[in-house]
Amino acid sequence: RNFINVFAQLRFSIIKKLEIQAGINYNKTSFELKNTFPQEVISNEDYSYDGIWSPQVSLLYKPTTLQTLYVSASRGFSLPAIEETLNPEGTINPDIKPENGYNFEVGGKFYFLNKKLFTEFAVYNMQVNDLLVAQRVGEDQYVGVNAGETLHQGIEIGANYYWEVSRKCNLQPYFAASIGNYEFKEFNDNGNDYSGNELTGVPKNKINAGLRAEMDFGLYFTADYYYIDGMPLNDANSLYSASYNLLNLKAGYQFTILKGLTSNIAFGVNNVTDTHYASMVLVNATGFNGTSPRYYYPALPLNYYGNLSLNYIF
């Protein structure tokens, strides 16, 4: 696969506190496929996509040096993987096209309390066209097809704070959340119309929060919490995974042995509440030889670990 990628970016101030950023990207991708085995199917194929233009423009307002509000509009693309460009016979599929989409976003980044508190937010609306999906054409045989359009809408927020409790101790809490609506705007697959259904394999809501405590003599402690919402496991939305909560804890000690030589000893507990959840899901799974489809790959139950590391700087 060969490609040419050319881009340019422009950034300047319109007036004080108001700035514009604009960019343009051009991509041209081509393929050359050589079949050398077996002898009866030796062939040489060439194929290229049309050139793709991807513009972007943003308007930034900075009321102070520690605060920024922005509005952004952009177009992007995603090239098919090598496997998606091929038919089951191993030849190039000339009907497949890259995914492309438009994204509109409003957001802001802010520092407060002498830069100890950092917060940010983003509200976005993205439409993806020529959605790439794997279409089953035979027993364990799939081909990539452009099946329709998806809509991604959501809000992302985040904050972290540095709190100096004393000269010897500090706390660093953080929080991040994503609340979204993801759906097939237009999706037809093998004669089935899934338009309006929730996007397969994507949780609507996610939360990540935690705390890190540090002492000046090297002792530290971390706690991480995760919440993952349930998600549809097939395009028909007839099967969903369950939502789950996850808590991980870790404590450690960092110290200097000699000049330039440091060590870190740590002990941790993952999945403190022994939650049963899937570490990975396989969407639109199919069973073989009469067996049920396997949608879930179970994660580890309550588990412990420890480590010792040495670091030497020359």
150: confidence class by pLDDT, cuts 50, 70, 90: very high
Q: How far apart are CA 42 and CA 257, in angstroms?
A: 64
Predicted confidence (pLDDT) at residue 138 exceeds the cutoff of 70: no
If you ran DSSP here, which 8-state letter would residue 240 be given? B
| Mean pLDDT confidence for 190-206 | 91
- Mean pLDDT to the nearest integer, 174-186: 96
Encoded tokens for 127: 């439409």
Adjacent-strand bridge partners of 10: 22
Tell me how far CA of residue 262 lies from CA of 42, 81, 98, 215, 313, in angstroms. 59, 44, 49, 16, 9
> Confidence band (pLDDT; 50, 70, 90) for 139?
low
Per-residue pLDDT at 31: 85
26 near 75, Cβ under 8 Å? no
Token digits of residue 78: 């995603």
Q: What is the pLDDT of residues 74-129, one digit of tens each?
A: 999 999 887 788 887 777 888 889 999 999 999 999 999 999 999 999 999 999 99
Q: What is the arithmetic mean of pLDDT over 129-152? A: 79
Q: Is the pLDDT of residue 161 over 70?
A: yes
**Statement: residue 21 has pLDDT above 90:** yes
DSSP 91: S
- Burial string for 48-68 (b: 16+ CB within 10 Å, else e) reads ebeebebebebebebeeeeeb
Using CA atoms, how far apart are residues 144 and 157, in angstroms rounded to an integer?
A: 35
User: What is the Cα–Cα distance from 22 to 208, expressed in whole angstroms?
Assistant: 33
**Tens of pLDDT along 260-288?**
899 999 999 999 999 999 999 988 888 87
Residues 6+ apart with CB under 8 A from 292: none
Q: Is residue 190's pLDDT more than 80?
A: no
Considering the entire predicted model, what is its pTM?
0.85
d(CA 164, CA 151): 43
Among 235, 119, 131, 229, smallest CA distance to 174 is for: 119
Indicate if the pLDDT at residue 136 is higher than 70: no
Q: Which of 152, 148, 129 is nearest to 202 (CA)?
A: 152
* pLDDT category of residue 42 using cuts at 50, 70 and 90: confident
Phi, psi of 5 (to 5 degrees): -130, 120
Burial class (CB in 10 A: 0-12, 13-18, 19+), 256: exposed
C-alpha dihedral (58, 60, 65, 67), degrees to nearest 10: -100
Looking at residue 247, what is its pLDDT?
A: 98
Share of the chain above pLDDT 90, in %: 72
User: Are 243 and 218 a contacting pair, CB within 8 Å?
Assistant: no
Q: Is the pLDDT of residue 135 over 80?
A: no
- Check residue 46 and give its pLDDT: 87
Q: Which is it for the CA torsion 207, 127, 241, 285, positive or negative? A: negative
**pLDDT score of 137 more than 80:** no
Mean pLDDT score, 151-174: 96
Q: Tell me what percent of the chain is helix, strand and coil, each rounded to the nearest 5.
A: 0, 70, 30
